[in-house]
Structure 1
Amino acid sequence: MAIDSGGVRLHADLTLPARPSALVVLAHAGPNPEARDDALAVILRHAGVGTLSFDLLTRSEDRFVDNHHNVPLLASRLVDGLTVLRQHMLLDELPSLPVGLSAAGDCSPVVVRAAAIRDRDIYAVVCRGGLIDLAGMLYLRTLASPLLVLVGDGEQRVETSNRRALRELTGRKELKLLPASADAPDSAAAFEWVARETAHWFVRTLPTATANTVNRA
């Protein structure tokens, strides 16, 4: 799927199961190297949830590190993508589905800000690491979507910062730490834990999903 935003054309990969109950947008900036997203997409599809992997940067922009930290730019592009997605649903070009957002690292504050802007359209958000306070205080305080923040074991600064930021939210929120049993943060066990915690959150909070479906994944 091609998405135009601010004069650039961005790319998104849409995958829908036979009878999708919801759709999760997996936002990232630059080519997505994370095995977590692949594992998550598989689990979500088994749960009947479609995925849209959305790259918020062009190939040429990816070379510049500052672009990866530009929350206003990336959030604006994500909002444009959500607008296009909504238009496709209204035109019956895509099934009308509740939408969730998921991101990691530098894109975590991006999805928080976008969800706050599109509060009527976003039903759940998951952030894996990253500093959500970079979304901006106004957006934290206006976020209505249920938010799950996952933090790696030993990331004390990230945990402390995110716990402080979560106090600004008035809606449903939760922070979970990677269990010691998951070994290293980049291990297969950690990938599986992150994917399953993310999927469970979406299945519990997206309107048409049921917890029993993920348990069978």
Structure 2
Amino acid sequence: MSTSTLVHIPAGGVTVEGMLEIPDGAVGLVLFAHGSGSSRHSPRNNYVAGELRAAGVGTLLMDLLTPEEDRDYSRRFDIDLLTQRLLEAAGWVGSQEATKHLPLGFFGASTGAAAALEAAAALGDRTRAVVSRGGRPDLASEQALLKVSAPTLLLVGGYDDGVIDLNQLAYDQLHCEKEMVIVPGATHLFEEPGTLEAVAMRAAGWFAEHLPRKAR
């Protein structure tokens, strides 16, 4: 069983909407940072979130940009803004009775991966794990990449040539526990049969291992 709640999170003068779902006995909570042009309704991220919940991990899928902001294409690559929204969401879940005790993780896709790593760097030990799917972690600052302490998993499609190189650049700058996995036969959106399942399995395993590690 899991509880599912539509939540409204105040964030820098606007309100972002999200779906918070927490399975019974959750070992942690993962905040999803969607990529450019995506939303909390993304079927790919919702599939991954469902697999995380099946593994005992709570999820918060939210829109980091308002509909008006998202119409401005440049906002989708405003990593500072996306990071700030993610940090405000992290602060919000840290103040709620139902979620404040749960260890925190981030799952980032596309540009959301950079925001997830920036947020993880800013929060330090408060972040227990980060996973990037087809992400652009290279868009995070070098300072942030060097500062991330949370175990970080980068998942990249085997046919996503340019993005593989960009992930390798970011991977080389990370000094935390880390792993980079090339998913065979997958393009950028992991639309090929079995590839999204592989992502979800890896992500669920990563969070299940690392989120509860330092729990009291």
TM over 0.5: yes
Greater mean alpha carbon deviation, residues 69-78 or residues 54-63: 54-63
Deviation of the 1:149 alpha carbon: 0.6
Tell me the amino acid that sits aligned with residue 57 of structure 1: L
Distance 1:6 1:95 in 2: 21
Q: How far apart in 2 are the matches of 1:78 and 1:95?
A: 16
Determine the C-alpha separation between the residues in 2 that align with 1:203 and 1:146.
Answer: 12
Match of 1:154 among 144, 152, 159: 159
Change (3 A) 1:194 1:83: same
Matching of residues 36-185 of structure 1 within 5 Å: 36-88=44-96, 92-94=97-99, 96-180=101-185, 185=190
Instruction: Name the SS of the counterpart of 2:181 in structure 1.
Output: strand
Given that residues 22 and 208 in structure 1 are in contact (C-alpha distance below 8 angstroms), is that contact kept between their aligned partners in structure 2? no
TM-superposed CA distance for 1:171, in Å, is 0.9
1:112–1:143 Cα contact (<8 Å) kept = yes
Query: How far apart are residue 208 of structure 1 and its match?
Result: 5.4
* Structure 1 counterpart of 2:128, one-letter code: Y
Matched residue of 2:190: which SS? coil
Number of equivalenced pairs: 205
**Is the CA contact (8 Å cut-off) linking 2:112 and 2:136 kept in structure 1?**
no
Q: Which residue identity lines up with residue 47 of structure 2 in the other structure?
A: A
Hey, what's the Cα distance between the residues in 1 that align with 2:209 and 2:51? 14
Quote how far apart the aligned CAs of 1:95 are: 5.4
- Aligned-pair distance for 1:4? 1.1
Provide the C-alpha distance between the structure 1 equivalents of 2:152 and 2:17, rounded to a whole number of angstroms.
26
- Structure 1 residue 36, shift from structure 2 partner: 2.4
- What are the ranges of 5 or more consecutive residues in structure 1 without an aligned counterpart? 210-217
Return the alpha-carbon distance in structure 1 between the equivalents of residues 208 and 65 of structure 2: 29
Q: 2:32 maps to which residue?
A: 26
Aligned to 2:23, the other structure's residue is in SS state coil
After TM superposition, which residue ranges in structure 1, 4 or more long, deviate above 6 angstroms?
none
Q: Structure 2: 5+ residue runs without aligned partners?
A: 1-6
Amino acid at match of 2:9: I
Q: Is the 8 A contact 1:109 1:131 kept in 2?
A: yes
Contact 1:27 1:56 (8 Å CA) reproduced:
yes
Q: Is residue 40–residue 195 contact of structure 1 (8 Å, CA) maintained in 2?
A: yes
Q: Secondary structure at the match of 1:13?
A: strand
1:54 Cα shift? 1.8
Structure 1 position 35, deviation (Å): 2.5
**Against the structure 1 CA distance between its residues 132 and 187, is the aligned structure 2 distance closer, same or farther, given a 3 Å change threshold?**
same
1:35 touches 1:191 (CA, 8 Å); kept in 2?
no
CA distance in 2, matches of 1:32, 1:10: 11
**Cα displacement (A) at 1:207:** 1.6
RMSD over aligned Cα, in angstroms?
1.9
Asked if 1:194 corresponds to 2:199, the answer is yes
* TM-score normalized with structure 1 length: 0.88
Q: Bigger CA drift: 72-81 or 27-36? A: 27-36
Report the TM-score, using the length of structure 2 for normalisation.
0.88
Post-superposition shift, 1:93?
Answer: 4.1
